[in-house]
Copies of this chain bind each other. A is one copy, B any other.
Amino acid sequence: MGGHMARNLLKKGYPVVAYDISQESLAALKKDGASVAGTPAEVAQGVTKLVSMLPASAEVQEVYAGKDGILSTVQKGTLLLDSSTIDPSVSQAMAVQAEARGAVFMDAPVSGGVNAARDGILTFMVGGPDGNFPEAKDLLANMGKNIVHCGAVGTGQAAKICNNMLLAISMVGTSEAMNLGIRLGLDPKLLASVLNTSSGRCWSSEVYNPVPGVVQGVPSGNDYQGGFGTALMMKDLGLAQNAAGSVKANTPLGAAVLQIYRTMVNHGFGGKDFSSAFLFLQEQEKSK
């Protein structure tokens, strides 16, 4: 993801100072025109706008607040945009520490996947001060086409995990409804068309149907390859549960769907697209 984003900035003429733990990725970026740094701290020394894209909360804490981290050298007035999908409370903690050093930290998680990153058409959900949003939007617009200001720092993360929780619930719900209907004798395409012209309609039934052959060009038609992995969905559902716990929000289906995706990961579905919930559910009783 990060590589595609950096290349889009380079294409638009921005000078880019890059850091990655993979020397290979760094070398490739250097070849495409970026300067490279040896640590996050070195990046921060040389820039006034910084974009980070990291796997999880622990890496964000390490890269920002750890040894040789961004916050150890960040210049006053720097705009820090973190596009990782992490716990909103970690985003908030980073913002407090950045402010203490005179910098501004905003969370800006994305939706759209690797292809959207490459094509510069990501959606960014941004949390942070009103006054800094225009500058953030100007920069992010080089990498995405839809830049939404969600509110104070952390609300970008909040919007992302609420969406993905509802997505997972709808996907498993669609898988359950399709599987039940098929077992009751319905043709999958006919059932999908009934749902999609009625109140059961959702993105998962309409655009990304989990039953092979119902919609063209989606992972269900390609043995659940590509798309958004079950293990990544499990991670986002874990973030949703942590956030729900912190505000005591009741999420019975959100909790159930995390367990379903965890079962799937434990039973070997981690690398398949998250629509493989249908594959898991449609398993038939085996003969004794």
Contact = CB atoms under 8 A, between A and B. Distances in A.
Copies in the complex: 4
A202 B166 contact: yes
A260 B252 contact: yes
A186 B253 contact: no
Interface stretch (A78-86, A98-106, A153-161): A153-161
A208 B161 CA distance: 21
- A: interface residue count bin: 35 or more
A273 to B, nearest CB: 13
Contacts of A150: 186, 190-191, 194
Contact of A186 (B159, B186, B200): B159
Given A159-B181, A186-B155, A198-B163, A286 B270 contact: yes
B154 A185 contact: yes
Interface string A97-138: 000000000000001000000000001010000000000000
Q: Tell me if A's interface is mostly helix, strand, loop or mixed.
A: helix
B242 A250 contact: no
Interface in A167-184: 167, 169-170, 172-174, 176-181, 183-184
A87 B268 CA distance: 28
Interface of A: 88, 111, 123, 125, 146, 148, 150-152, 154-155, 158-159, 161-167, 169-170, 172-174, 176-181, 183-187, 190-191, 194-195, 197-205, 207-208, 238, 240-245, 247-260, 262-263, 265-268, 270-271, 281, 283-286, 288
Given A165-B177, A250-B283, 11 more contacts: A148-B190, A152-B185, A161-B180, A170-B173, A176-B252, A176-B253, A180-B247, A180-B249, A252-B260, A253-B260, A255-B256
14 contacts: A125-B194, A151-B190, A162-B180, A163-B194, A169-B177, A172-B252, A179-B250, A179-B251, A201-B203, A250-B281, A252-B260, A253-B256, A265-B285, A270-B286
